Structure 1
Amino acid sequence: MSSDITYSDSGVDIDKAEEAVQRLIPHAQSTFRKEVLSEVGGFGSVVALPEGYKEPVLVSGNDGAGTKTVVAKNLGKYDTIGIDVVAMCVDDIVTSGAEPLFFLDQLTVGKVDPQIIEQLVIGFAKGCIDAGCALTGGEIAEHPDTMDEDDFDVAGFAVGVAERDDLPDKSSVVKGDVLIGLASPGLRCNGYSLARRVLMDGRPLDQPAWSGADVSLGEELLRPSVIYAPAVLSAFRQYEVHAAAHITGGGLAGNLKRVIGDQVDIGLDVQRWRRPKIFEQIAIEGPVSEVEMRNVFNLGIGMVLAVPSDQIDEIINLADTNGHEAWAIGQVTEGRGQVRWMDQ
């Protein structure tokens, strides 16, 4: 007579999942703001609105780390990829002038390994601390038969709060505005399918990223995303920011088009900022054309602010105070809602 089949026999281990939850609780709690009213492990996160807002509105954003997870898996290093997910989410919502309030993660795995889960959550917690938001919960989903046991994917969403009257509008971007670009030292989370195709096609990850590099290829590809939210939020609160664009998939031109109206154009001067070496390496080894590089990658600019021309120095100094190198990289002219490169 055959024995009963259990959930564990089917590939889902409830006990391991519970162990993973217990491991992550202190990391999540380390991020809590005073507005958090619930505990980790409940059915829903309960968070109060911060004081001081006259007419608060909620701003939400959802994202993941793309195929950067492949690099983490190949290196067996899981404690930074969560930073990337938080960065993708909070840096989206801060473009609306929103203060990141709380974040929830989604971990999907082929098989629960409590140690790896804890490492992933360490990254989420670090990202939340850097962003000033609370990690209030999430989901661990074990997907046997649909994923290999060592496969995983990460995603999350952030919720922030903004003053309704202060929300930026496309019509705010006017002729004469200047674009301030905040530096991105690496790829962040975008273009990894192309970058991996070029750089990881049989090449060991422990080799130098390029000739003379002080980091390995694996270290460079897993470089955590910069989190811009605190600096951008300060800029919105202290200065006249007409728009902010988070430079993700679609590159500079694709994302800047999302924040301007039909009455203006943007001109970008590629000579005005320093392009990190990793982008040159991808272009050379591919080879990948300059047109494709501009369409896919951030090319060293992770966030752009459109501001009046008399605030250039103040915004650049603010960025520097927050640890971000910044440059005036373009200008707004009369036009029809297009973004163009000045060298073309």
Structure 2
Amino acid sequence: MTKKTKKGLSYRDAGVDIGTKGQFTTDIYSKMQTTFSQRVIENPDGFGGLFALNSRLKKYRQPVLVSSTDGVGTKLKIAFMMNKHNTIGIDLVAMCVNDIVVLGAEPLFFLDYLASSKIVPTVLHEVLDGIVEGCRQAGCALIGGETPEMPGFYQKGEYDIAGFVIGVVEKENVITGKTIRPGDRVIGLRSSGIHSNGFSLVRKVFFDKAKMKTNQRLTKYGLNTTLGEELIRPTNIYVKTILKTLNKHKPKNVIKGIAHITGGGLRDNIPRILPEGCSVTLERKEWDVPKIFKIIQDVGEITDQEMFHVFNMGIGMVLIVPESEVKKVLNTLKYAKEPGIVIGEVTRGDNRIVRIV
């Protein structure tokens, strides 16, 4: 009598399907190719992405590589609730590339990390579509990434994403804010909404306190959208606008400092570029705060101070320029289809603080 062989466990039994992951990786390569330029050396089955520096950096005398990594925080929860995943990748790219362009850097290439309990190709393809679109908007190539399947680590139907970008800037053109002086003006670029910060408070306000649903229309608050549509609105990518403006006004004494307004809002992010002896006074009447922030504040009964400390409040990027150059810079921004607003000025002060009056 032949003894039966006991079947051993497989990776599939543990919840990981190597075949599905392999097919997904193969399928997304064609999407990645849509972001490629001649600088990318194709290596579809390789262990790393290849990017040719010489063909791109020959215009630089002293090229400095600039890097950043970021995620989108709990805004992912909104995507899960709505089962809408094609914009969250734009947020991911935006959070990374907006951080390096403030130093004057041109984004070169992007990598992503997309982890889930189980690879669901339809969902992850939507996420990748957003990342590809974000890279197109930023003018950088998506040359690689990692898509681990981690059963038991993430809740069913959920995933996490992180992004990594590399850019380049001429050493003498790195924007640090060191030349900012009292009397300079603060120009704000409008945000597209909440962007990707403050969503733990957003969810607390709308879903825990007010018991609202993502499909609830906001008509009574003056918005012709649903709550979910307003919350999932992708982060604005400012790269092309900023680079056009920098190229138009190359001398360092024109664009003295740039700040990406993310977590911490205007109060925490502008001081990061201020030198000693400088503070900033912002006049809130100079720009219209988007209605979504007023809704959050009213429903959550949140103070002005807390709102300005958590959210961008309608300003996604700040440029600091000499008073004499304001009109020229505003004209350039208007031509780049990203109109700017003078929202304040640099004042004398030792504490590097932002006053909002």
Q: Could you tell which deviates more after superposition, 106-115 or 48-57?
A: 48-57
Match among 232, 239, 245 for residue 235 of structure 1: 245
Contact 1:178–1:312, Cα closer than 8 Å, also in 2: yes
| 2:201 corresponds to 1:194 | yes
Structure whose CA Rg is larger: 2
**Shift, 1:207, TM fit:** 1.2
Tell me the residue number matched to 1:172.
179
Match among 73, 79, 99 for residue 72 of structure 1: 79
1:118-267 map, 5 Å = 118-201=125-208, 202-211=211-220, 212-239=222-249, 240-267=254-281
Tell me the residue number matched to 1:15.
19
| 2:277 corresponds to 1:270 | no
Segments of structure 1 that go 5 or more residues without pairing to the other structure are none
Match among 116, 122, 132 for residue 109 of structure 1: 116
Code of the aligned partner of 1:246: H
Q: State the distance in 2 between where 1:63 and 1:222 align.
A: 18
Q: State the distance in 2 between where 1:221 and 1:109 align.
A: 23
Q: State the distance in 2 between where 1:327 and 1:203 align.
A: 34
Contact 1:189–1:225, Cα closer than 8 Å, also in 2: yes
- 1:10-65 Cα deviation digits (max 9, x unpaired): 11111111121122111111001221113344211211221311111100000011
Q: State the distance in 2 between where 1:155 and 1:331 align.
A: 35
| 2:302 corresponds to 1:298 | no
Segments of structure 2 that go 5 or more residues without pairing to the other structure are none
Q: State the distance in 1 between where 2:255 and 2:162 align.
A: 29
Contact 2:192–2:234, Cα closer than 8 Å, also in 1: no
Q: State the distance in 2 between where 1:158 and 1:304 align.
A: 21
Q: Give the SS at the match of 2:271.
A: helix
Q: Give the SS at the match of 1:214.
A: coil
Code of the aligned partner of 2:108: L
Code of the aligned partner of 1:205: T
Q: Could you tell which deviates more after superposition, 317-326 or 241-250?
A: 317-326
**Shift, 1:222, TM fit:** 0.3
- 1:207-245 Cα deviation digits (max 9, x unpaired): 113514211100000001110011111222222210110
Tell me the residue number matched to 1:331.
345
Contact 2:68–2:100, Cα closer than 8 Å, also in 1: yes
- 1:158-216 Cα deviation digits (max 9, x unpaired): 10000001112332111221111000020000000001111123311111135142111
Q: State the distance in 2 between where 1:48 and 1:55 align.
A: 17
Using the size of structure 2 for normalisation, the TM-score is: 0.93
Q: Give the SS at the match of 2:285.
A: helix
Tell me the residue number matched to 1:317.
331
1:85-100 map, 5 Å = 85-100=92-107
Q: Give the SS at the match of 1:331.
A: strand
Q: Give the SS at the match of 1:333.
A: strand
Q: Give the SS at the match of 1:170.
A: coil
Using the size of structure 1 for normalisation, the TM-score is: 0.96
Q: Give the SS at the match of 2:51.
A: coil
Q: C-alpha root-mean-square deviation of aligned residues, in Å?
A: 1.3
Q: State the distance in 2 between where 1:104 and 1:236 align.
A: 26
Contact 2:113–2:147, Cα closer than 8 Å, also in 1: yes
**Shift, 1:81, TM fit:** 0.3
**Shift, 1:337, TM fit:** 4.1
Q: State the distance in 2 between where 1:41 and 1:303 align.
A: 38
Code of the aligned partner of 1:81: I
Q: State the distance in 2 between where 1:293 and 1:2 align.
A: 62
| 2:48 corresponds to 1:44 | yes
Q: State the distance in 1 between where 2:176 and 2:316 align.
A: 21
**Shift, 1:308, TM fit:** 1.1
- 1:112-137 Cα deviation digits (max 9, x unpaired): 01111111110000000000000111
Q: Could you tell which deviates more after superposition, 331-340 or 258-267?
A: 331-340
Q: State the distance in 1 between where 2:324 and 2:176 align.
A: 20
Contact 1:210–1:281, Cα closer than 8 Å, also in 2: no
Contact 2:86–2:126, Cα closer than 8 Å, also in 1: yes
Q: Give the SS at the match of 2:148.
A: strand
**Shift, 1:342, TM fit:** 4.3
- 1:312-334 Cα deviation digits (max 9, x unpaired): 22222322333323200111122
Q: Give the SS at the match of 2:143.
A: strand
**Shift, 1:8, TM fit:** 1.0
Code of the aligned partner of 2:258: A
